[in-house]
Structures are given as C-alpha cells and as structure tokens.
Amino acid sequence: MYDDILLPTDGSEATTAAVDHVGRLAEVHGATVHVLSVVDTRNRFESPSSGLAPDAWLASERERARQAVDEAVETLPGDVPAERVVEEGVPKSAILGYVEENGPDLVVMGTHGRTGLDHYLIGSVAENVVRESPVPVTTVRVDE
C-alpha cells in the first residue's frame, strides 16, 4: 500500500512521535521513508530569526535542518530504508513541492496541537499541508 512515505521534520518534540509512527508503518509496508527538513529562507523580518544577520540565520537553519534529518533517520528502525533530504524555502511550500515532485504515497507529520492565540501567532505547517496535499497526510500529536 505504501512504497514511499514522506516525513517532514523540524527536529522538534512533535517529530519524535511521528518518527515512531512512520517507522512502524514503513516496517509493515516495506516502505522507504523520505526524511525532509526545510531551511527556512524567508527574510529575517518575516521569520523567527530574532534579528540575526541573514547569513548567520541561513547557516544556523542549514545546520538545524541537517541535524533534524540525521536524528530522525537514526531513530528509525535499522531495517527501514531512508533518504535524507534538505530543501530550502518556506516550510509549507517546500513540503508540498516535494510531494508534487516526488509523489510519496503518504505524508506523516508531527503536530503540537496548538490552539487559540498560540495557533494564530505561530501558525501550523501541518495544518496547511493537510489542507493542500494531494496525497493522504497523517498527523501525530505530541503527548503532553
């Protein structure tokens, strides 16, 4: 049923729960997991860069993305094949672009389950991907 599963990661606690879920799915279906992290390239005034210089922000984001992918791959069961992917752009757009270009059968994403003001201020990449993805998306909420 699933040959390729996309696991977007930002290295957060929400991803940890999603990695466990996607690892079990991949084992059952013999799927390859594509672990994707996005280097957020938005202008420093449009993203949570805390006023860092643009070059420092991008360098920091590249390292964070690489580490997030490495940590997720290392957490997957040893017999699950994984591809490491780091893209640059706006996270929602880069994830959806990867789906369009590579055609995974499923996207599995962690979510913090924020509501109210936190959701309004921070937004939800997962929510946007669920709404716009042409393939099924499973969200895994982090346990509180």
Q: Give the model confidence (pLDDT) of 112-138 as tens digits.
A: 655 554 444 445 888 889 999 999 999
pLDDT attached to residue 17: 85
Q: Is the pLDDT of residue 14 over 70?
A: yes
HEC string of 88-118 equals EECHHHHHHHHHHHHCCCEEEEEECCCCHHH
pLDDT attached to residue 60: 87
Residue 67's domain comprises: 4-141
- Say how far apart CA 2 and CA 78 lie, in whole Å: 18
Q: Which residues are 109's β-sheet partners?
A: 139
- For residue 77, give the nearest of 22, 16, 12, 18 by alpha carbon: 22
Say what the pTM is. 0.87
Q: Is the pLDDT of residue 49 over 90?
A: no
- Say how far apart CA 139 and CA 110 lie, in whole Å: 6
Q: What CATH number does residue 118 fall under? A: 3.40.50.620
Q: What is the mean pLDDT of the chain?
A: 86
